[in-house]
Chain A
Amino acid sequence: MNILEIDRLSKTFGDFVAVDQVSLSIGEGEIFGFLGANGAGKSTTIHMIASLLRISKGEIRLLGKDITKHANFAKKNIGIVPQEIAIYEDMTAYENVRFFAGLYGIRGSELKERTLEALEFVGLGDKHAVYPKHFSGGMKRRLNIACAIAHRPKLLIMDEPTVGIDPQSRNHILNSVKKLNEMGCTILYTSHYMEEVEEICTRIAIIDHGKIIAQGTKKELKAIVTDQKNIWIEVRSTENADPGKLREIAGVKQVEIEDRVIKFTSDAGVNNLNKMIQQLMADEIEIRSVEEQEPNLESVFLTLTGRSLRD
């Protein structure tokens, strides 16, 4: 059964179309990845699912019920971890979680239990009485998550929950996402970190300029690029490199220069490695290593949009 179905969803701000005819469905128990560059329309889509933004066009159904008509039902079953931290600095970690869980009508000993459980879950079990102003960025992010899960939502929406934090906190968060999922929570996970999405998501949708440009399992998405190969050549210095000339090599579709690596995207059927090396040698560029990359989501995104996800 699908927990969430989005049908030709659009959002316009004045003349600007931020979300354009997005259709998706997410099955119960999935970790669904929602990938897109800055300004692609991820948060806008998520805000409509969470009833924070009015829908311009289209429909969203949660467990088969239209969320506009059954707003309270939808809100009760959804938890949202906002992209920007949304907590009270003048309330302790415990008071924060307790207050937000209370908004869902939970009271008394049950409220206490769930609050403690949520704090424990994100690894803040020993920080109940601490005010968030004494927290590190990663701890605040984790509190931000705790505030969204204490009411035990069926669908948890996470809007870039790992932005700008240390690797340890990030690992902790990724592990808790997996654990939550094992406990039966469906997760819609937004990010622009490819590796994260590759690591934890069952299915992925890629959004660009408000439109879904691809969607499927990791395998299905990577299949899009099997007719391509990615060759990364590490060099001593890219000073003399001339991307214009490199692009002229037969079969080469794209050339990107990053640090001291020249990244070729090329037609898989053309044998052109020799030509690449020859050209670099002709330009007096010293080659350190040559590698053929497995296709990854990054290359899928690059192929589909002609841009790298990071910029």
Chain B
Amino acid sequence: MRDTLWLIRKTLISTFKTYKNWLFYLGLPLLAILLAIMTRGHSEDVRVNIGIVNEDGKQAITLDTIAFIGGMHSTNLVELPKEEADEQIIAGDLDAALIFPAGFSQTVKSGNPESVRIVSVKGTEASDYVKANLNRYIDNMTLISKAAGGSESKFDRLYAEYKASDFPLSAETLQDRSAGHAQAYQSIGYLAVLMLFAAGNLSGILLKERENRTYRRIMASPVSARSYVSSNIIVNLAVIVAQVALTLGVMTQIFGVKPGLPLGVAFFLLCLYALVAVSLSLAVAAFAKSSMEAGALQQMLFFPTSLLAGCMFPIAAMPQAMQSIAYFLPQYWLLEAFGKLQLGVALAEVIPSVLILVSFAIFFSLTAVYKFGRNQDARSFI
């Protein structure tokens, strides 16, 4: 541990001795926020056209729910039969249709609500927005019915009280949020790219020390190879987590951008992504024969993948065929989770993205460990 600290100290001091590195590691993320705020500064007037297919008839709860959706900002409602809804969605006249099944209100009262189906072609932001709010509304009613414990009169009373109080969600609108959210989303997109390059640079120190042979000196001392590599990883993680903290802090506290999800959650997601970035950069270092080659590999890998994953501009702008490549890129899953949470979905819904990020980190780490191990056999470090 003492050895590791000694090595960490050296790497930190010699890294932050030059002002260029301050700019690279901490200045660029700040620049990225500015850029994001400038380019995404104007809220677009989003209107969401929603078709309502009511198969439940004139039940109070169903009608209230429909009214709630209608009351959300930026939504236009049209009631229509199922077949027509399908047609209009395909034609692009509707963004989404909500289908309330027969007996919906009854199932809500009994505390076990049947789900409202959402039909949309694109799985658009708009439909996610509606879905997220709708789910929360229904969840609240389910809670009421649980509290009523099966008694209908009690339910009616609690429900009436609930309606009388202001529903907190209705204050938030898609329109209000879109500017701030888009800025935050774009900042995170840029940050994701910068984190990769920062991690790559820091792992590159391992290669540089091999090239200037100081690595041999370290290996001839009682310091173990494990302490040596872990010191590099620790510095790497520390620096890019600092990037994350700085970016989130400056974005929300100084520029007042509302990220649309709890800061702690954003921080957690980005730290997870930091693990991916560091393990990927180690894998690149393990495969590269020189720091020059590692630099070239990083350029080749980090930039195009970030473009394809939607870090710089929305992937919708890319040809369909290329859009699906995004599923194989960790940056995409970070942004996907981030974007979903901005729409107010429950944390549980981003668990798949989180797991995918974890898998990426594990995969890259194992690749790096395997490759470094093989290098060791060939003694190419001498």
Contact = CB atoms under 8 A, between A and B. Distances in A.
Interface of A: 47, 50-54, 71-72, 75-76, 78, 80, 82, 84-91, 99-100, 102-105, 147-148, 151
Interface string B172-208: 0000000000000000000000000000000000000
B213 interface: yes
Nearest to A13: B379
Interface string B219-243: 1111100000000000000000000
A75 B6 CA distance: 17
A75 B14 CA distance: 26
30 contacts: A51-B220, A52-B216, A52-B220, A54-B379, A72-B222, A75-B220, A75-B221, A75-B222, A78-B220, A80-B220, A82-B213, A82-B216, A82-B217, A84-B213, A86-B213, A87-B212, A89-B212, A90-B14, A90-B17, A90-B18, A91-B10, A91-B14, A100-B221, A102-B6, A103-B221, A103-B222, A104-B221, A105-B2, A105-B222, A151-B221
A87 B214 contact: yes
A88 B220 contact: no
A76 B214 CA distance: 17
Interface of B is mostly: helix
Contact of B217 (A54, A72, A91, A147): A147
B272 to A, nearest CB: 32
Contacts of B382: 47, 52-53
Nearest to B219: A52
Rank and list the top 5 A-B pairs by shortest CB-CB distance, nearest first. Answer: A86-B213, A103-B221, A72-B222, A50-B220, A75-B222
Contact of B213 (A85, A90, A99): A85
A166 B213 CA distance: 23
B25 to A, nearest CB: 16
B64 interface: no
A99 B216 contact: no
Contacts of B18: 90
A134 B18 CA distance: 17
B228 to A, nearest CB: 10
Interface of B: 2-3, 6, 10, 14, 17-18, 212-214, 216-223, 379, 382
A99 B10 CA distance: 7
Contacts of B217: 80, 82, 86, 100, 103, 147-148
A143 to B, nearest CB: 12
A208 to B, nearest CB: 22
A90 B14 CA distance: 7
A53 to B, nearest CB: 6
A91 B6 CA distance: 15
A37 B14 CA distance: 39
B221 A86 contact: no
Residue in A50, A54, A102 whose Cβ sees the most chain B Cβ within 10 Å: A102
B213 A103 contact: no
Given A82-B217, A90-B14, A100-B221, 11 more contacts: A52-B216, A52-B382, A54-B379, A71-B222, A80-B217, A80-B220, A88-B14, A103-B217, A104-B221, A148-B217, A151-B221
Contacts of B223: 103
Contacts of B221: 75, 100, 103-104, 151
A29 B219 CA distance: 26
Contacts of A53: 379, 382
Nearest to A51: B220
B232 to A, nearest CB: 15
Contacts of A87: 212, 214
B74 to A, nearest CB: 55
Nearest to A72: B222
B212 A51 contact: no
A148 B6 CA distance: 17
Contacts of A100: 217, 221
